[in-house]
Chains A and B, each alone.
Chain A
Amino acid sequence: MSLHDHDLRDTAGSPVGFDHSLDYVTVTVGEQLLGLPIARVHDVFITNRITVVPRAPSEIVGLLNLRGRIVTAICLRKRLGRPPMPGSADDKAEMVAVGVDHGGEAYALIVDAVGEVMRLDRSTLEPPPVHLDRAWAMLAAGVHRLSDRLLVVLDVDAILKLDMPAAA
Chain B
Amino acid sequence: MSDPLLRVRDLRTHFRVKRGFPNPETVTVRALDEISFEVKRGEAFGLVGESGCGKSTAGRSILRLVEPDSGSIEFDGEDVLRADKARMRALRRRLQIIFQDPYSSLNPRMRIGTALAEPLLVHGIMGKAEAAERVRDLLVEVGLPRDAGIRFPHEFSGGQRQRLGIARALTLNPELIIADEPVSALDVSIQSQILMLLRNLQETHDLSFIFISHDLGVVRYFCQVMAVMYLGRIVEKGPIPRIFDEPLHPYTVMLRDASPVPDPTARKAFERIEGEVPSAINPPSGCHFHPRCKHATELCRKVYPKWMEVDAQRGVACHLYDPASGMSPKP
Whether both chains belong to one complex is answered with no
- A residues with a Cβ closer than 8 A to B are none
